[in-house]
Amino acid sequence: MGRRIFFFIIAITTLFFSCTKHIEEPDLLKMALSSDNSKIRKVMDSLAQHELQIRYTQIDRIKDSIIFTDYNFQVNDSNYFYPASTVKILTAVLAIEKLNEMDSLDLYTQFYVEGDSLETTFANEISKIFAVSDNDANNRLLEFLGQDRINQSLKDKDIAPVRISHRLSTENAFEVTTRPLIVYLNDTTTAWLKPSVNKPPAPLALKRVKKGTAYYEDNTLINEPFDFSLKNYFPISAQNEVLKRIVFPEQFPKNERFRLSPDQQSFLLKAMSDLPKNTGFDEMEYYDGYCKFFMYGDTRDTIPEYIKIYNKVGNAYGTITDCAYIIDHKNDVEFMLTATLIANNNGVFNDGSYEYKETGLPFLAQLGREIYNLEIVKKQRK
């Protein structure tokens, strides 16, 4: 019998068959990471290479109270990782919040960004952010908000550390002046929303902000570590705090909540959990697990209707991340999970050679399944 299996059995036995009145809750995250599954072991046996960080939040409901218990693995706000598209959850929720401050505008107001050919609505762009992680949708909302407003809004809610400094996958990523929006007040009347001028980003003073051994720039190989110091910064702890405030706003003081109406919160949660096929995208290309990395990221299986995953994923520069609230209505199980890792074996950035499918997605999917299965067992034993 392997040592991991032996200690796993001991942990389960101690947890579920103790006769004492007080039974200490198990660390399900530690148990999940002790799995002998090859998808877990591939990362756990090479931790330094993958820079893994995880936070699992156990959720207990006692009468009308909700209790969060966080379990961390290598979570360290000082160890930088590139957050990629996870930052889109910020533009989505803060765009809704800003709409509440503006007369005659709402989620379904039609608008376009100056110089952009697409006329759309705020609701459409938010839906695309979560269904297929659309970069252009995020950038349109950033033009509406501006970097400084995003950063200040989060600071005001005691969500830190975070720094949003740029748009995603566009030539004007670091432009500090936003482009104006033209909004339709009715069928014939438009209004011009003035641009904002934002502060240029200062370099981040963090560990691991320079990564790898080389990178490509304009098709030229530069034999130096890739410098992320001017990039967006959205660590595991802050992602978890944002998700908690969206799903469980009543657990926070009013000044720390996002200012959303009940209908707006319902809209946002629906957008976060909707699958691409439910929002008009081709399900052959955009399968259920396309933006649901935990539990389903490595499979094309259909997600059962009784399981809802409210999340935002990201993958870029070899870094893959998911931040999710997962609830199984059939088995009465719920938990939060946030994890990030690097899957870049050759240490070269911008070469398009990353091991998302071979390492990143399998690990995150299996991690989600391990935690989920342990939660099921825990529920059944109570």
**What string of DSSP letters covers 179-243?**
PPEEEESSSS-EEEEPP-B-PPPPPP--BT-EESSEEEETTEEE-S-EE-TTS-B--HHHHHHHH
pLDDT at 64: 87
| β-pair type (348-349, 214-217) | parallel
Q: Summarize the confidence of residues 107-136 as an average pLDDT.
A: 98
Strand positions, DSSP E, the chain? 53-62, 65-73, 110-113, 120-121, 181-184, 190-193, 210-211, 214-217, 220-222, 226-227, 307-316, 319-328, 333-342, 348-349
pLDDT at 5: 45
Model confidence at 359: pLDDT above 70: yes
Work out the mean pLDDT of the chain and round it to a whole number.
Answer: 94
Quote the DSSP letter at residue 360. Answer: I
pLDDT at 16: 44
Give 21-73 pLDDT, tens digit per residue.
345 678 999 999 999 999 999 999 999 999 999 999 999 999 889 999 999 99
CA separation for the pair 132, 72 (Å, rounded): 28
Higher pLDDT, 268 or 5: 268
Give 282-310 pLDDT, tens digit per residue.
999 999 999 999 999 999 999 999 999 99
Give 133-156 pLDDT, tens digit per residue.
999 999 999 999 999 999 999 999
Give 163-215 pLDDT, tens digit per residue.
999 999 999 999 999 999 999 999 899 999 999 999 999 999 999 999 999 99
pLDDT at 213: 98
pLDDT at 381: 86
Model confidence at 234: pLDDT above 80: yes
197, with CB counted inside 10 A (0-12, 13-18, 19+), is exposed
Q: Which residues make Cβ contacts (< 8 Å) with residue 92, sequence separation at least 6?
A: 126, 129, 130, 141, 268, 271
Tokens 């659309």 appear where? 134
Model confidence at 327: pLDDT above 60: yes
231's tokens = 């990039």
pLDDT at 147: 98
Single pTM value for the model:
0.93
pLDDT at 382: 75
For the chain, count helices (H), then strands (E): 12, 14
The share of the chain scoring above pLDDT 90, in percent, equals 91
pLDDT at 25: 74
pLDDT at 9: 44
CA separation for the pair 240, 91 (Å, rounded): 16
Q: Summarize the confidence of residues 331-340 as an average pLDDT.
A: 98
55 within 8 A of 338, measured Cβ to Cβ: yes
Please provide the distance, in angstroms rounded to a whole number, between the alpha carbons at the two ends of the chain: 28
Closest CA to 52 of 17, 79, 26: 79
Band (pLDDT 50/70/90 cuts) for residue 1 is: very low
205's tokens = 């003073």
